[in-house]
Amino acid sequence: MTDYDSSVQDSGRQFARKVIAPIAADADEGEEFPLQAFREMGRFGLFGAPYPERYGGAETDYTAYATLIREVAKVCAATAMTAVSHATLTCDPIFTAGSDYLKDKFLQPMISGEKIGAFAMTEAGSGSDIASIQTRAEAAGDYYLLNGSKLFITNANVADLAVVVAKTSPQAGLLGLSLLVVEKGTPGFAATGRKERKLGMRASDTGELVFMDVRVPKENLIGRQDRGFEVLQRTLPAARLDMAAIALGISEEARDLCLDYVVQRRQFGTPLYRFQLVKAMLANMEMRISAADLLLRKGLRLRDQGKSFLKEAAEAKLFASEMAVAVTRDAIQIHGAYGYSRDLPLERFYRDAKLTEIGDGTSEIQRLIIADELIKGRTAPPAGAAARVASRGSGI
């Protein structure tokens, strides 16, 4: 780790421990969106880390941004996921493919934390299979007429705007997708108010959005009509890297709690760390965390260099998420009844870790992407195969 990385990490750690850690357990217990913490993240500069100063950003690299997400995840993974849904899934498409009009109108208030964004892609019948999206946006004069609904959307009930994935040319399948920015208060656009009752990530708001004859100005189109797939090719892998960072943050904190515990705890007159089975569990934790860290850094380096990172993002997300579930499970086992109790955050970490295997594309989808990318390097893929591979997996 360079001095630059260390300074970013130290700053992020101090912020997360001071602002987010004190409210994490209560936010989880009450299943309440931590609005004040969200605003504080904006003022701190977390949302704008990789974006230009013109929009209130810090112009760091994506590695620095992922480092900050990782530090937040150590104390509250739900808050970290809220940040990723806002700053990566919502801001990034606007920044990378949006017009100057969209950038100037939305990025500054989103980066500052004044406005909250949601990324609306998942539907009741469309999760990993993006081609089956039913939401339609029909061109009509100087606007699009948007109809449909979205489910399992992070920030749905608190969002001021949503980046919506819809079909503008239904007959074209994946090649007929477009992305539109829809603002809160637009007639016909609403959150149902229903909050998903979840196993973990409870402090992250998850709900449903509906669109009934919503007139969306054509200037709210991100990129070009029917070319939304190209934007998703960049956005979804980026979110997978950030989900890997969340999984790593959860795992590192669980490991550190274990190290403190095994030094203090005695059984049969012997410190717990002297038992070989405990040592083996600690060794496996450290090995898995180190391997996940390397995979994440590889993917982030490629992204910072402007190179393709589709396969590397899938590898990092897959390995880190499955690692996080294993590490948090073993951490509870080491702590015994204390780990199972709500007096410690380990049971929360375990519940939160599970979602990292599902959100932004399931583990099964990540394996398909990795295998397809390997095969693609040896054979010429059939027409349309590249589109199907790159677009697999949805956000939550």
Report, as an integer, the average pLDDT of 119-137: 90
Domains of the chain and CATH, by start: 3-116 (1.10.540.10), 118-224 (2.40.110.10), 229-390 (1.20.140.10)
Report, as an integer, the average pLDDT of 217-228.
97
125-129, 134-138, 385-389: range with highest mean pLDDT: 134-138
Residue 15 has pLDDT above 60, yes or no: yes
Segment 221-241 mean pLDDT: 96
- In single-letter form, the type of residue at position 213 comes to D
pTM given for the model: 0.93
Instruction: Judge whether residue 386 has pLDDT over 70.
Output: no
Length of the chain: 396
- In angstroms, the CA 308 to CA 347 distance is 37
pLDDT digits (tens, 9 = 90+) for 335-362: 999 999 999 999 999 999 999 999 999 9
Indicate the helix (H) or strand (E) that contains 346: helix 346-355
Residues of the chain above pLDDT 90, percent: 87
Per DSSP, the residues of 38-82 read HHHHHHHTSTTTTS-GGGT-----HHHHHHHHHHHHHH-HHHHHH
Nearest by Cα to 239 from 168, 146, 163: 163
* pLDDT bracket for residue 274 (50, 70, 90): confident
The residues near 337 (Cβ < 8 Å, ≥ 6 apart) are: none
Q: What pLDDT score does 394 carry?
A: 52
Asked which of 18-22, 169-173, 326-330 is least confident by mean pLDDT, the reply is 169-173
Q: What is the pLDDT of residue 389?
A: 47
Selection from 160, 88, 157, 153 nearest residue 127 by Cα: 153
What is the pLDDT confidence band of residue 385, given thresholds at 50, 70 and 90? low
Least trusted range by pLDDT, from 182-186, 228-232, 373-377? 373-377
150-176 confidence digits (pLDDT tens): 999 999 999 999 999 999 999 888 999
Residue of 150, 155, 158, 146 whose CA lies nearest to 127: 150
